Every structure is written in structure tokens, then in C-alpha cells.
Chains A and B, each alone.
Chain A
């Protein structure tokens, strides 16, 4: 084990932990804005109750996202100094704009959004909610611009080994950016949709049938059912874009070794990089050719194309990309099945959430975190798929790593892992605790038991 590998695991661990929380806050911010607007329009208490329940989860997720994000801004320097030295002229302004246009906006208005409800006029509180949601989205925009640029760099020239910007519009609207941004924003929407459905199903099963739980459950399921087909479509377009700009990644995703036509769509296989072949293949004949080239005999690039004559491998490690991709797609299919079945049942029986059978509600509870699984798997597919490059065609990951002793990187890695594990357990625990706590007052909120007892304030 060496410094490069430890540093990669460390950055991977940090960014994996980090992305869990922005994925929630981006879409949840807009959801809260929606709740607030509905409340402002209708005056119905249930919207505000839903707001107050979900704003707690927002606050917690936001804090987790902020602190784990700071870690990464330091790790550019501690672990990857070569990155900024080489492409700092491009990455720098993008990161700076993220801090300036997003971080302060979110951070300041978060205080007003969380604690200002009784201190400021209603419109200002709504505005604060909007600005926080807007800030999280701006933050996603800038960081995805940078990430996309690393995948498909454009608008720059190299002078003495350092990248210099020549066209900022080309840098920002680099070829993969629109697809990646849309894909990620939809992923955030889906993560929140299933989190909301899952936690609300849990509250429902605990006996809380209040209007607030009902609306959260229906909103989550409907949003999921609405977004998942769009996501599948965008994902497909993103894949075609990747085929054009990073064919080696697609070859690894498909587990395809030779450039050829009639490539099957592999449902399962064990890619063997030593033998440069797959074992235990199960596939749909011509499937990959059809998806990628829209012809049964369409020629799809293979991994062997990306090995130089002197044996240097310029394609990513195959197995992690291959399996991550399948986990992502599989999770997406499960999302599709569950949300469409639930929405279909509700529409058919015309009884809203009461139409949902218990087993289906129980299935929603673990699916609360399906968005996390799919998002992580998707990011692993695309980021491991970029290897060995850090910036495609411009610099390899190895060229950026710091000259820090491996044991030092390993020890801090262990420290981070322990902290992250504890926090993750605590986070999920608190989510269910908050959901269950409101269930204990089911008697007070169940309309059939008509009680006027108010929910205890936080």
C-alpha cells in the first residue's frame, strides 16, 4: 500500500461521505420552499407541520454537509498539491465562485430559515428558505462544472506544463456538464423523494396518520414516480455523451474487451483484468450495441483499445466500474417499480395513502436510502471510470499526489473513517428517532381519534 492508494481511498471516503448530505439538502431545500409556499397560499397547518419536521432533517444534513465539505477544501492542498499547481488557473476561479455565490448565501440565510420563523415577517422567512435552496443549487452547479471539466476539459491551453484558461464559457459549458448537472440534480430529487416516502411510511406504520405525514408520503412517492423515468432518460443521454468523450469508461461499464459489433448487454459477469476477459457472463445479445449505437451490429469500443503498445493501461480498473454501474441501474429499477406501483395503487383505489398495503409501506422504509446507494454507485462509476486520469488527457491522478509518508495518510484515513462511521450511525439513528418520536403522539394527531392536543414543540 502506498501514499497514492491511501490518498485516493481517503479522498474517496471523504467525498463519498460528503456527497450523501448535499444530495439531500439540494432537493430538500426546494421541497421546504414548496411546503412554505403551499402554507402561504392555503394557510393549512399541515404544510407548516411538514415544514417543521423536515427542516430539522435539513438542518442536520446541512451541518453534516458543511463540515465534511470543509475537509475536502483542505485536502486539495494536503493530499493533492499537484492538482492546483497544474490546473489551478481553471479550478481556482470555479471553486472561488462556489464559495462566494453559494456558501455564504446558504450559511447566513440558514440561520434565518431555521431560527427566524418567529422573529422575521413571513415573506422574509420564505425568502430565506428560497435563498438557501438557491444557494445549495448554485453550489452544486459550480462544483459539477469543475468535476465535468476534469472529465471533459475544454477552453484551455497548456503553457509550460500549467493549464491557462482561454475561453471561460467553453470551460463552464464543457461537453459533459449539462448531462452531469441534470443527472445529479435529478439524483438529488430522487434521493429526497424516497427519503421522504420512506420516513413517512415509517411514521405511518408507527400509527401517525396526521395530514402532515400523509402529504409527505404522497409528495415523496409522486415526486419519485415523476422523476425516475426522466432520470433514466437523462442517464442514457449522459452515457452516450460519455461514449463520445470517454469511451474507455463506457467500455469498462459494459465490460467489453474488444472493439466489435453485436456487443451483448451484460447483466452479470466477473471481469478478470489479468486474463483480460469476463467469466460467468450472462447477457442480452446485441444489447449494448443497441443501447449505445442504436443498431444490433453497432461497433462499441473495447478496453483493449486503451492499452498502449508498451503495455501501459490507459483505461480504468474494470470490476469497480462494471459493478458500480450495475448497482446504480439496479437501484434505479427498484425505485421505478416501487414508486409506480404505489402511485398506481393510489390512483386506482382513489384513497390516497390509505390505498397502500402494509408490505409495500415496509418496503419503502429501507428504500429511504436508495437514493444514497444509487448516487454513490453512480459517482463511483463516473469517477473511477475517469482513472488513470485526474483531468482527462491532461494529468494523471498519480501526478497530483502529495509527497506525504504513507503511514501519515493511513493514520488520518483511519481517523476520518472512525469519525464518519460514528456520525453516519448517529445520523440515521436520529432520523428514525425524530420520525418515531412524532409517532408516539399518534393519538393526538390521528384525525379518527379527534384530539386537540398539540404536538410538543422542539
Chain B
């Protein structure tokens, strides 16, 4: 079986890089909306806060698990890269973790602790979401810059930190458009309209900076015939942004029509941007330093994980869908009974 798809030291690392890439993308889209809702928290009234929480309550835990899967694949499939990347990103990782801790527990504490502590846990929820978003964006920036630390790369990372946070708030707003109605939905539409420009700025910054930093990436994008094959990527992204802009200007539509569409379009937009990045960095897992082939674990160990993954991933997808079906429609109050 191990030779089924050609030499295992080629196809196995590729398969795992793909799996990891998909996990990160799913995480960015799914926990992205959770974290975005957290970032929008301060702009909401108290009763709106409860509904915002209700819109993500049944999902956030599973959403966050995609991060565990992604980091787990990095850990098990590319252990050397895991060490290099995480020691280089030591502080932002620590800040992200504290952020995720605060965000995750605040969900429960704000509903269960004494009423007088609720504002505290609301703030912890927002602060945790912001810490996680900003540090993830910061790490993205440093990663694009090849994990080198100079005044310039730190400045760029600060920019991507803000950009990713804005992008998360944007997808969070589109999630709220989908899952809520009335005044809260109207508020989310207004927020999405403003946030769209931040997304454009962020995508632009990453697209311009990556090739400028790495001649290799520039070469990959402008050589012929690649430049023509890749052209649909930016063109499609532009079309999506335009559609989002036009759509958000007209929302809310009658009978809540198309309220799911901004979220779906945003997921597509994120996917396109992500594909572009993946293309830029392939075959490197640590930019310009370590390829997925050099970093991969022993083929026998990878194979045993892959077998399990192939069986389990469809099941995970299945019960994730089940959960979204059960909690479909507009978010209602979360009740244990």
C-alpha cells in the first residue's frame, strides 16, 4: 500500500501538507467567525451579547479543534518544522494560547458565575478573542517574512495582525448576518460594510509583500505560463469582493433573503487567498529554509496516521454537518433543558 501512489517519501509528505493546509483553512474560516464575533462584542448591547454567544455556542469547541488537528499534523508529520516554527514564534504563541484560554472559559463563566461578574467575563471573552486574532495575524506576518526578526518584519507582522483581526471580524459579522435578525443583524451588516475594506487591505498587503520578500515566490507567480494559469485567482477574488460590496449595500433583503450568502462568499474568498499563499510557499514548510520533504517523519509512522485519518475524517465531517443541521436557523437562547 505504501508504494501505491509512487515513492512514499514524496506522496506522504504531500498528503500531510494537504491535510494540514485544509485543517488550517477550516480553522481560519470556522474559528475565524467565533473570534470575529468576540472582536465585535464591545459594540453590542447586553441582550445582543447573549444572542451573539448563542450563535457560536454549540460550535466553537469543534471549530477550535481544527487548530489542534493542524498543529497536531505539523507536530507529527513535520516534527523538525514544528520545533523551528514554534520556538521562533514563542511569544506570540504564548499570547495566543492565553487568549484562547480566556475566550474558551469566558463562554461558560459568563453564563454561570454571579451576575456581578458577567461584565468581567464579557471583557475576558472579547480580550481573549482579540489576543488570539492579533497574535495569529502577527505569526502569519512573521511566517511570510521567513520567521526573521527585524524592525521591518515586525512592522509587517503588526500590519497582518490588524488585517487578520479585521478579516475575522468581517467573517464574524457575516456569520451574525446569517444567524441573527432584527437590530443585531442590521448592526452586523453595517459592520461588514466597513470591515470589507480592511479585508481588501489585508489581502493586498499579503499579496504584494510575499513576492517582494522572496524572489522565489515572485518567480513562481510571474513566469509564463503560470501567470496565465494563476490569473483566475486574483480575478475571482476581485469579483467576490465586488459581489460582497454590492450585496452588503442592499442588505437586509426581503424575508431575510440570501442572509447566508455573505458568509459563503467570505469563506470562498478566504479559500482563494489561502490557495494563493499555499502556492507561494510550496514546497516549503518553513519559508525558504525547510521543505515538507526534508521535514517529514518516517513513512511508516505517517502511513499509520494516514490510514486512521482516511477513516475518521469523513466521520468527523459527518457529525459536524449533523451538529450544524441540528442548530440550523436563527440563533435562539442557549438552554440546557
Q: Which residues of B contact A451 (CB under 8 A)?
A: none
A71 touches which of B65, B97, B298, B312 (Cβ 8 Å): B97
Q: Give me 22 A-to-B residue pairs in the complex whose CB atoms sit less than 8 angstroms apart, sorted by A's number.
A: A66-B64, A67-B104, A71-B101, A77-B75, A84-B75, A88-B301, A92-B76, A101-B308, A104-B62, A110-B62, A111-B62, A112-B322, A115-B58, A115-B336, A118-B337, A119-B326, A120-B326, A402-B83, A412-B94, A433-B113, A457-B337, A458-B336
Separation in Å of the B323 CB from the closest CB of chain A?
5
Q: A85-B79, A89-B298 are in contact. Are A116 and B326 (CB under 8 A)?
A: yes
Flag whether B102 is at the interface (Cβ < 8 A): yes
Q: Which residues of A contact B79 (CB under 8 A)?
A: 81, 84-85, 88, 92
Q: What is the bound-complex CA distance between A95 and B69, given in angstroms?
A: 10
Q: Which residue of A73, A101, A118 has the most chain B CB atoms within 10 A of its CB atom?
A: A73
Q: Which residues of A contact B282 (CB under 8 A)?
A: none
Q: Which residues of A contact B298 (CB under 8 A)?
A: 89, 162, 164-165
Q: Which residue on B lies nearest to A400, using beta carbons?
A: B83
Q: A70-B97, A70-B100 are in contact. Are A60 and B308 (CB under 8 A)?
A: no
Flag whether B72 is at the interface (Cβ < 8 A): yes
Q: Are B80 and A85 in contact (CB under 8 A)?
A: yes
B334 touches which of A70, A90, A100, A115 (Cβ 8 Å): A115
Q: Which residues of A contact B75 (CB under 8 A)?
A: 73, 76-77, 84, 88, 92, 95
Q: What is the bound-complex CA distance between A266 and B141, given in angstroms?
A: 58
A-contact 0/1 string along B315-337, CB 8 Å cutoff: 01001101100110000001111
Q: A60-B112, A88-B79, A457-B337 are in contact. Are A67 and B100 (CB under 8 A)?
A: yes
Separation in Å of the B241 CB from the closest CB of chain A?
32
Q: Are A434 and B82 in contact (CB under 8 A)?
A: no
Q: What is the bound-complex CA distance between A457 and B300, given in angstroms?
A: 53
Q: Which residues of A contact B98 (CB under 8 A)?
A: 415-416, 419
Q: Which residues of A contact B305 (CB under 8 A)?
A: 92-93, 96-97
Interface residue count on the B side (C-beta < 8 Å): 67
Q: Which residues of B contact A92 (CB under 8 A)?
A: 75-77, 79, 297, 301, 305
Q: Which residues of B contact A69 (CB under 8 A)?
A: 68
Flag whether B212 is at the interface (Cβ < 8 A): no
Separation in Å of the A244 CB from the closest CB of chain B?
28
Q: A101-B312, A416-B98 are in contact. Are A66 and B61 (CB under 8 A)?
A: yes
Q: A88-B297, A93-B76, A110-B61 are in contact. Are A104 and B90 (CB under 8 A)?
A: no
Flag whether B264 is at the interface (Cβ < 8 A): no
Q: Are B94 and A415 in contact (CB under 8 A)?
A: yes
Q: Which residues of A contact B246 (CB under 8 A)?
A: none
Q: Which residue on B lies nearest to A68, using beta carbons?
A: B101
Separation in Å of the B104 CB from the closest CB of chain A?
4
Q: Which residue of A63, A107, A412 has the most chain B CB atoms within 10 A of its CB atom?
A: A107
Q: Are B308 and A111 in contact (CB under 8 A)?
A: no
Q: Which residues of A contact B300 (CB under 8 A)?
A: 89, 164-165
Flag whether B87 is at the interface (Cβ < 8 A): yes
Complex A-B, nearest 7 residue pairs according to Cβ-Cβ distance, in ascending order: A81-B83, A92-B76, A77-B86, A111-B58, A88-B79, A84-B79, A67-B104
Separation in Å of the A65 CB from the closest CB of chain B?
10
Q: Are B76 and A111 in contact (CB under 8 A)?
A: no
Interface residues of A (CB under 8 A from B): 48, 52, 55-56, 59-60, 62-64, 66-71, 73-74, 76-78, 81-82, 84-85, 88-93, 95-97, 99-101, 103-105, 107-112, 114-120, 162, 164-165, 168, 402-404, 408, 412, 415-416, 419, 423, 426, 429-430, 433-434, 457-458
Flag whether B227 is at the interface (Cβ < 8 A): no
Q: A77-B75, A110-B61 are in contact. Are A89 and B301 (CB under 8 A)?
A: yes
Q: Are A104 and B111 in contact (CB under 8 A)?
A: no
Q: What is the bound-complex CA distance between A91 and B75, given in angstroms?
A: 10
Q: Are A99 and B97 in contact (CB under 8 A)?
A: no
Q: A73-B75, A103-B65, A430-B113 are in contact. Are A78 and B326 (CB under 8 A)?
A: no
Flag whether B93 is at the interface (Cβ < 8 A): yes
Q: Which residues of A contact B281 (CB under 8 A)?
A: none
Q: Which residue on A lies nearest to B313, using beta carbons?
A: A100
Q: Which residue of A85, A101, A103, A434 has the most chain B CB atoms within 10 A of its CB atom?
A: A103
B87 touches which of A48, A67, A81 (Cβ 8 Å): A81
Q: Are B320 and A108 in contact (CB under 8 A)?
A: yes
Flag whether B15 is at the interface (Cβ < 8 A): no
Flag whether B108 is at the interface (Cβ < 8 A): yes
Q: Are B72 and A95 in contact (CB under 8 A)?
A: yes
Q: A77-B85, A402-B83 are in contact. Are A412 and B109 (CB under 8 A)?
A: no
Separation in Å of the A300 CB from the closest CB of chain B?
39
B57 touches which of A74, A89, A108, A115 (Cβ 8 Å): A115
Q: Name 9 extra pairs, CB < 8 A, besides A63-B107, A426-B109, A458-B336.
A: A62-B61, A73-B72, A73-B75, A81-B84, A85-B83, A90-B301, A100-B69, A426-B117, A430-B112
Q: Are B297 and A78 in contact (CB under 8 A)?
A: no
Q: Are A100 and B104 in contact (CB under 8 A)?
A: no
B309 touches which of A95, A100, A119, A404 (Cβ 8 Å): A100
Q: Which residues of A contact B308 (CB under 8 A)?
A: 93, 96-97, 100-101
Q: Which residue on A lies nearest to B58, using beta carbons?
A: A111
Flag whether B197 is at the interface (Cβ < 8 A): no
